[in-house]
Structure 1
Amino acid sequence: MRLVGREAETARLRAVADGVREHGGALVLRGAAGAGKSALLSEAAEYAAAGGVRVLSVSGVESETRLPFAGLQRLLYPLRAAAELLPVADREVLRAALGGADPAVPDGYRVALTVLDLLVGVARQAPVLLIAEDAHWLDDRTTEVLVLLARRLECERVVLLAAVRDGYDARLDAAGLPELAVAPLTEEAAAALLDRHSPGLEPESRERLLAAAAGNPLALTELPGAWAGLERPDEGAFLSEPWLPLTARLERAFTGRFAALPAPTRALLRIAALNDGASLAETLAAARRATGDRPGEEPDDRPGVEDLVPAVGALLVETDGVELRFRHPLTRSAIRQGMTLPERRAAHAALADVLAGQQDRRSRHRAAAAPPPDETVAAELQASAARAERRGATGAAVAALEQAARFSEDPVLRAERLLLAADFAVELGRREVVARLLAEASQVELSPQQRARVVWIGGSFDEGLRNPTADAGTLAALAATVAAAGDTYLAVRVLWSAAQLCYWSEPGAGARRFVVRVAEGMDLDELDPWLLAILAYAAPIERGAVVIERLRRRGPSPYDDARTDRMLGTAALLVGSYDLAQSLSAAAATGLRRQGRRGLLARAVGAEASSAALLGDLATAVPAAAESGRLAHETTQPYLYGLMRAVEAAVAALRGDRDRAAALAAEAEQAGLPVGARPVLARAQLARGLAALGAGEFAEAYAQLRRLHDSADPCYHLALRCYAVGDLADAAVHCGRGAEISGIMREMEAVGLATPSPALHAGLRFARALLAADDEAEELFAEALAADLTRWPFARARAQLAFGEWLRRQRRAADSRAPLRAAREAFDALGAIPWSERARQEMRASGEGSRRRRPEEQARLTPQELRIARMAAEGLTNREIGQKLYLSHRTVSSHLHRIFPKLGVASRAELSMAVRPLA
């Protein structure tokens, strides 16, 4: 039957169903309870199925929100035969996730990738439509997988449609997916729907029902029955009570139907409403226990399946003899709300008794049945939380620990459980939950270690920039106190938070020195990665020599420790050793991908992108920055996301796309300015300066880059300003303002005496040659070009270009051609288009022609395609590439089919020739 008033929504859903044969995607339906989301999904499912599309569906159940992968298990149940055809490793991933085993479950990315492979394989036979009703009640692990899937379906014949209710904190709702708002029906459509379902109403009743329903389709079909069942019209006043939300009115309508049922039926439904499972046998056993079931009691005297017949006839529940489910979530809510506290506790106690073999569910029902405090219940809940965390069900662990805290008899244990819950909640990205848990924990007298954890956990979001209670000095003092008490592990992590603040903000020289003093006063090995990272973040100049020497001595972790390599990579980046930072970060990314640690992976790939961009390795920087930004968004790291936007802006500037560079720099600045995230602002400013340099607008470039050295400017950054000294000198010389930066040069020369930073010294050699008098310049250019810049091709090419320009100005045209030619070739290979054009202009001015620049192959590819092309060129298979990028191997194949014609190649061998020279 055609849905009344939903023509536009139906048309869009049908278009999605029709398009699934060509491409995939996702769409979230959002609206109030009873707005008709389920009806729209049902209509879409019928339409798709009639067109040969395979439909898989699942409905979120409130009682299953704590059961990891419960929704995914039901969604994929029809594909169990196809799952057996997957490779052994993939089958094991699905079994670990969906089999309910207690050991640790693979990361959500790995599960999502396996599910994607499964779905894409099934879609080769027929397109697939996934439907998730009441997605706000799906468990966290299922939702995580659906979000990850939704962002990777574009190239597949798989579509996801999900419905989310307004007012619920649903991760699908905030995942940035396309949305379809399911609004109330118009007055005309509401009237038509009411007349279809309840013809012949009295005019006054009809008007009151229309007003009460407020365009809600479920209300328009359910409220008339409640109205007709009233003995006196004035009893229907609830239909027009303005202070009740529509959901409450609907619940009253369901309650009225429930109240008319026989007492045994009502008893059964009360148990079912509180049961966190759908098992009919469980509900019957608990109902018998609650009604006084005793050994020897005659079976006919106990509640049975026949007592459900009236509820099925009243369209409140449905059963297949194995499971019992409510036809609408509001039915369950209405019954729960109507129960007294003693009734609820008795029902939970009965359920706990019949679930003796299921520890986690039993502990939850015991908690609901018992008044707090009760340390036995608290201990059971904490044990349940530990099991949930091992399974990867972090949300369930947080909920269990919070409840355990409520049942704790000892205030110290209560605080400990709240802190542990807050620590887990950080992993979920639940800022508001963390704040609330920490506030509750802080209400009791905490130990020094616990106070340290409060501060440390509280600064876990937003790089600590939004935590007004903990600046770098305070955190360092706290770390010293904790270390003195013997807890070096916690002390180091608190101090790491202080060091990060030194990077993201400007705490002052005193705070930086204090962080260093505390770090070097701890009993840590001098090659400890935490120590090196803390020193690099807190004092990249003063301790630059120490960090660089130890990094070179230490090298990559010999134990394939990805987290260690990540810290070493970021340390190398901060002290200006970009080549080492790139190699260490790339090594870390490999391990972190394998482990599925997305938050840390975002940072490792971000460090790789940053160092690659600063080296001029655009073929690496482009896909790495895009990937890091996407991961940062998915893992709720807004300032890392802003930083990657700034890196992308710099890459766009180097490639000559000034409009894109400006837009990306503005987006980065918008993210960093409100909290003073100095690295974001400094990188954005550098991108603007590079864009102006590339365009030959040297006065504009000078104005932009000069800000990096103004300590009163928000974009001033202690370390990053040092590594842009060559850019500033380039701009100053070309606009006739070289003398104005003499003070900055003296300061940078002094910094150079304190640290052997490769980036700083490369910039200083370049700047000295640019600023030198004519009788000194050639020797200084020779010095700049004599340095080992093998891993710094962009810096070397810039020095060659500047030397060639200087030689031509000295009327030594013939001598200028060799360095200009070398610069042109390097810039062409790197894709630094503005600089290669500048070299060509100089060559023509020297009297030598220059072939036209070939269209840049890598510019034709998206960042994702470029990364896939490079991996394929390195010999990786489609499946290996997919595992690294969290894509289906079939998605990789689709990308390669688009990449080949863009590059004019027909095979992987030709791809290798087309892509490798660009690296």
Structure 2
Amino acid sequence: MLLFGRNAELKDLGALVDGPRDRSGILIQGQPGIGKSALVDEAVAAAAIAGLRVVRTAGVEAEQNYAYAGLQRLLYPLRQGLDGLPARQYDALAAALGLADTSDDPSAYLVGLAALTLLSDTAGDQPLLIVVEDVHWLDQASIEVLAFLARRIDTEPITLIATLRDGITAPFADTGLSLMRLERLSDDHAAALLDLAAPQLPAPIRHRLLAEAQGNPLALTELPTAVGDDFDELTGTLPLTERLERTFTARGAALPSQIRSALLIAALNDSDSIAETLTATGILLGSTVGPDFLTPAVEARLITLGFGTVTFRHPLMRSATTATATADERRRAHLALADALGERPDRRVWHRAAAALGPDEQVAIELEGTAERARHPAGAIAALEQAAALSADQGRRTDRLLRAAELAVDSGRRDTAERLIETARTLPLTPRHDATAAWLLSGFEDGVREDPSRIGELAALAASVASDEYTDAAMRILWGAAMRCFWIEPGADTRRALLAVADALPIPDDDPRLVAVAAYVAPFERGDHVLGHLRALASTSGRDPEADRFLGSAALQVGAFDLAVHFSTAAAPGLRAAGRLGLLPRALAVQAWSLTRLGDLAAAAPVAAEAAAFARETGQPFMHGLTKAVQAEIAALHGDYPRAAGLTAEAERIGLASGARPVLATVQLTRGLTAFGEGRFEDAFADLSRIHDPRDPSYAPALRAYFLAELAEAAVRAGQTDALRDLLRGLTPAAESTSSPALHIGLRYAQAVLATEAADAQFLSALEADLTGWPAERGRLHLAYGEWLRRQRRVVESRTHLRTARETFDALGFAAWSERARLELRSAGESSPNPSPDASERLTPHELGIARLAAQGLTNREIGQRLYLSHRTVSTHLHRIFPKLGVSSRTDLAALLPTADNPPA
């Protein structure tokens, strides 16, 4: 049938599949029957003409509990290409699609990367059009993978078209898909369509139908079949969707009862297999039936039969079939399907559960087994929640609800977790259940938006749980509380209470979790204790990525930035390989923050960019804010103050909204660096001083001690030396209790620039300290000492230090400090030409990350596996990178971008 009133939409879809494009696809949204599928069919036809291969899938309401059901439908025709995938990707995708048995649950992100590789490889031979209809009925696992794909196909010969009903929050938000909203047809187009569908209608009926259809194409083509004695029942105040469903109900009611039973089974089946529908129908009716049995339903235009399949012509026809059946009819249909699926236990048990008349422990146990075998948390959560509903024993019901809630927390589904915990709390809870319910929600946002008093409550709860010998649960509660001490400030009493609980736990002192708790709760008081464990454990890094992540975070808290880089760098590969993209941005954020403080901006920039992207993608706003603040700091150190200002504003919005002190502290650091670089020394001191003010939202108890060099420089130039001395006196207790490298490096610098008579000795003492791995701090000392020597008229001596500072800052890309060193050198009688731009400065942080990996000798496919990109996308980036750097090969890259493993010749 012709499409009326959709010329603009057809033009957009045609351009998408048959010409240059700057978008990855289109999401078509509209009410049921508005013509979404008709437009998709036109796009598919245009794609065939343009030479694209089409792969498609559709959400099915009955399949929502089956992980990767939609993805399986999409990728099964491409299964021959699985053999070309890297081993880890092959295992993940084969498990997700049910093509291999494995005890390991594949990460959705690893499945997504495997799907991207498979589709990219396929598109290398022939461009692809991916069609995903009825997104609102897709299973959650498939939605996650398809969203992952949509964010990464903009550089691939792949286009995606999806359809979504009105009133549904778009699950593909922030994926780059353009939204195409379908509105009702104009009066003229509606009239033309009705005249084509039912040309012989009397004028009064025609006018009435046009009014009732409200420009909905499905209504215009289907409502005419209801004209007759029953038409009055389809009009009035009922919503259009319900009127259409009644139309389809009336059409089905005219069929024999046995045909209606078969239709009900087809509607309730979680598969479109005609064999399953006919087998279950035969079980229900007590006789064998063949495909011809469904012919009356085909003639009534309710279903269509394909090769081995039976599908409803429209989802409203399916919903009308189930809605009008009695509860007993639905129950008997489910039991018949369960009997027909005897060799498919996971599907069978869902039908048995739907047929249950009350608590059924046996079915609940089978659902637990289904949850254990689930290939995605969403399927396991649904199975456990249904098992809880069928539990006769309240204790088991609570156990199942809380297990489901824990999975929801791990998979980032806060609304689901809160609902499950609220349900569990309506039941009598044991102390263990109460403890579990209490700490579960702490997995979201680390309690950033909670009242600080909540931390004290968690400390008491952890102590109570530990006294009942639930050590692991107590440790998890304690860790949740400790994390809150990083983002918000609970006060000294609460910190002491947390330490008391930690000290009483029967856990070895060098347990990474316990080390991290001590670092977060008491970074100065327990600083030496933590540093001792970190140094002892450094040789064991690389074995357990989660342990390394804990230790990297602990090292940052106690100012051991070199160790923070060591542990977080060791954690990242394991988290990548396992597809744990929820934890990966946390490790990357620690790595980027610490690299920046050490002065390695070239290494920090791509890590911070990747951390920001993954934090946003995985719904971690506070980590996204922190990484944006790090990117702002990098821009300020490079001297790109407009970019620093933009990133700072973005990070501050996030930090203020959530009360995340480390984000705001890093924001103030960047503002201080910018003000200093622009010669606004009083502003710089004011900005940096805020980090030390307990009344200020940017006050960060640990981090305030690690920006002392910047604070001291600003104070001296702003004439605020007395205020600086007051601040330093406030840090004396911390300095006496910990050997924190960052704290003592900063203190030595501050004491040197504040000194008068003994300044020479102070600078020399500071330079004699071990600054291996701290080039920025060594460069600052040389610069400050050279400036002091020149002011003392020791010009010849000053040049050596100023030259060293200039060379250091040129290498690090610290633009403002490089310029200061040059000006001082000129004043000392030595010319100092400006350096040519560093190769890394010609690339975006994302491009720099790819270029560095290529320089290390990794293939495009290996780079793609690390960065969760397709190898074709990597190739596209490298083709852009080479001309920017004036090189033509990976060998040239290795010479231009040396690494620790590949030093310059």
Shorter-chain TM-score tier: over 0.9
Q: Structure 1: how far apart are the matches of 2:308 and 2:505?
A: 62
The aligned counterpart of 2:397 is: 414
Residue 202 of structure 1 deviates from its aligned partner by: 4.6
Aligned match of 1:33:
32
Q: CA deviation at 1:731?
A: 1.1
Residue 209 of structure 1 deviates from its aligned partner by: 3.1
3-state DSSP of counterpart to 1:788 = coil
- Which secondary structure does the structure 1 equivalent of 2:184 belong to? coil
Partner of 1:370: 356
1:285/1:543 Cα in 2 relative to 1: closer, same or farther (>3 Å)?
same
Is this contact kept in 1: 2:541–2:570, CA < 8 A? no
Q: 1:260-271 maps to which residues of 2 (within 5 A)?
A: 260-271=254-265
| Separation (CA, whole Å) in 2 of partners of 1:763 and 1:196 | 82
The secondary structure found in structure 2 opposite 1:471 is: helix
Residue in 1 aligned with 2:653? 670
Find the partner of 1:872 among 842, 848, 854.
854
**1-structure distance, mates of 2:300, 2:829:** 94
Aligned counterparts, 1:519-668, within 5 A: 519-557=502-540, 560-668=543-651
Q: Distance in 1 between matches of 2:718 and 2:868?
A: 48
Q: For the structure 1 residues 506 and 208, does the alpha-carbon distance in structure 2 shift closer, same or farther, using more than 3 Å as the test? A: farther
What's the TM-score, normalizing by structure 1? 0.94
Q: CA RMSD in A?
A: 2.1
**Partners in 1 of 2:822 and 2:87 — Cα distance?**
56
- Deviation, structure 1 residue 91: 4.4
CA deviations on 1:99-129 (whole Å, 9 max, x unpaired) are: 3544234322332222222222222222111
Q: 1:336 to 1:466 in 2, by over 3 A?
A: farther
Q: Is the 8 A contact 1:102 1:387 kept in 2?
A: no
Q: 1:519: Cα distance to partner?
A: 0.4
Match of 2:297 in 1: 311
Q: Is the 8 A contact 2:24 2:177 kept in 1?
A: no
Alpha-carbon separation, structure 2, partners of 1:85 and 1:306: 42
Please state how far the C-alpha of 1:204 moved relative to its aligned partner.
4.4
**Contact 2:409–2:441, Cα closer than 8 Å, also in 1:** no
- CA drift of 1:703 comes to 1.6
- Tell me which amino acid in the other structure corresponds to 2:425: S
Q: In the TM superposition, what whole-angstrom CA distance separates every residue of 1:251-297 from its partner, at most 9, and x where no partner exists? A: 12221222222222211101111111222122122222223x1xxxx
Contact 1:900-1:907 within 8 A present in 2 as well: yes
CA distance in 1, matches of 2:203, 2:792: 98
- TM-aligned CA deviation for residue 335 of structure 1: 0.7
Q: Is the 8 A contact 1:264 1:307 kept in 2?
A: no
The counterpart of 1:883, out of the listed 865, 886, 900, is 865
For the pair 1:817 / 2:816, whether they are aligned, the reply is: no
How far, CA to CA, are the matches of 2:822 and 2:569 in structure 1? 34
Q: Which residue of 2 aligns with 1:517?
A: 500
Tell me what 2:373 maps to.
387
What are the Cα deviations for residues 847-876 of structure 1, in whole angstroms up to 9, with x where unaligned?
211112211321221222111111122222
Q: Counterparts in 2 of 1:411-450, with a 5 A limit? A: 411-450=394-433
Query: Does the 8 Å CA contact 1:650/1:687 hold for their aligned counterparts?
Result: yes
Matched, 1:287 2:284: no
CA deviation string 1:569-622 (max 9, x = no partner): 000011110011001100000111111111111111111111111112111211
* Aligned CA distance change for structure 1 residues 806 and 559 (closer, same or farther; 3 Å): closer
Give SS of 2:707's match.
helix
Unaligned runs of 5+ in 2: none
2:720 corresponds to 1:737: yes
Cα-to-partner distance string for 1:819-858 (whole Å, 9 max, x where unaligned): 1211111111111222212222222222211112211321
Structure 1, residues 111-164: CA drift from partner, whole Å, max 9, x if none? 222222222222222211111111222222222221222222122111122112
Please give the per-residue CA displacement for 1:58-105, whole angstroms capped at 9, x wherever unaligned. Answer: 112112222222222221233233444556665444332223544234
CA distance in 2, matches of 1:801, 1:5: 71
Determine the C-alpha separation between the residues in 1 that align with 2:150 and 2:2.
Answer: 29
Matched, 1:358 2:358: no
Deviation of 1:31 after TM superposition, in Å, equals 2.2
Tell me the secondary structure at the aligned position of residue 746 of structure 2: helix
For 2:804, give the aligned amino acid: A
The Cα of 1:219 is off from its aligned counterpart by 2.4
Is residue 2:750 matched to residue 1:756? no
Q: 1:2 to 1:755 in 2, by over 3 A?
A: farther
Deviates further, 183-192 or 106-115:
183-192
User: Is the deviation greater in 869-878 or in 77-86?
Assistant: 77-86
> In the TM superposition, what is the alpha-carbon distance from 1:650 to its structure 2 partner?
0.9
Q: 1:207 to 1:714 in 2, by over 3 A?
A: farther
> Which stretch of structure 1 is more off in the superposition, 176-185 or 873-882?
176-185
1:53-72 equivalences under 5 Å are: 53-72=52-71
Partner Cα separation in structure 1 for residue 210 and residue 672 of structure 2: 62
How many aligned residue pairs are there? 900
| Residues 201-210 or 878-887, more deviating | 201-210
Report if aligned partners of 2:432, 2:465 keep a CA contact under 8 Å in 1. Answer: yes
> Structure 1 179/810 Cα, relative in aligned 2: closer, same or farther at 3 Å?
farther
Report if the CA contact (8 A) 2:601-2:812 is conserved. yes
Contact 1:766 1:799 in 2 (8 A): yes
CA distance in 1, matches of 2:360, 2:244: 37
- Which residue does 1:153 correspond to in 2? 153
Q: Which residue of 2 aligns with 1:278?
A: 272
The worse-fitting range, judged by mean Cα deviation, of 175-184 and 111-120 is: 175-184
Residue 248 (structure 1) aligned to one of 242, 250, 257: 242
Closer, same or farther: CA 52–626 of 1 in aligned 2, 3 Å: same
Aligned to 2:880: 898
Q: 1:168 to 1:160 in 2, by over 3 A?
A: same
Structure 1 pair 43–802 and aligned structure 2 pair: CA distance change class (3 A): same
Aligned partners of 1:8, 1:78: CA distance in 2, in Å?
32
The residue aligned with 1:795 is: 777
- Measure how far apart 1:187 and its partner are: 4.0
CA distance in 1, matches of 2:537, 2:91: 37
Q: Give the drift of 1:670.
A: 1.4
The answer to whether the 8 Å contact 1:556/1:584 transfers is no
After superposing on structure 2, the runs of 4+ consecutive aligned residues of structure 1 that deviate more than 6 Å are: none
Q: Distance in 1 between matches of 2:211 and 2:669?
A: 60
Looking at structure 1, the residues matched to 898 and 559 of structure 2 have their Cα atoms a distance apart, in angstroms, of: 26
Aligned amino acid, residue 297 of structure 2: A
Contact 2:130-2:159 within 8 A present in 1 as well = yes
The corresponding residue for 1:296 is: none
Equivalent residue for 1:236, pick from 227, 232, 245: 232
Q: Secondary structure at the match of 1:56?
A: strand
Note if 1:42 corresponds to 2:41. yes
Relative to 1, partners in 2 of residues 1:723 and 1:210: Cα closer, same or farther, differing over 3 Å? Answer: farther
Q: Which residue identity is paired with 1:750?
A: P
Offset of 1:188 from its aligned partner? 4.2
Flag the 1:202–1:712 CA change in 2: closer, same or farther, 3 A.
Answer: farther
Please list, as runs of the form range in 1=range in 2, the aligned pairs for 1:316-331 lying within 5 A after superposition.
316-320=302-306, 322-331=308-317
Paired residue type of 1:716: Y
CA pair 477-74 structure 1, distance change in 2 beyond 3 A: same
Q: Distance in 2 between matches of 1:739 and 1:430?
A: 51
Aligned equivalents of 1:733, 1:214: Cα separation in 2: 74
Cα deviation 1:510-538 (Å, max 9, x = unaligned): 00111111101111111110110000111
Shift, 1:729, TM fit: 1.4
Q: Report the Cα distance in structure 1 between the residues aligned to 2:874 and 2:702, rounded to whole angstroms.
A: 39
Q: Does the aligned pair in 1 maintain the 2:70–2:142 contact within 8 Å?
A: yes
The structure-2 alpha-carbon separation of the partners of 1:734 and 1:440, relative to structure 1 and needing over 3 Å to count, comes to same
- Give CA-to-partner distance per residue, 1:853-903, whole Å, 9 cap, x none: 211321221222111111122222222222111122232222222111111
- The one-letter code of the counterpart of 1:643 is L
Report the Cα offset of residue 169 of structure 1. Answer: 5.2
Q: Are 2:629 and 1:679 aligned?
A: no
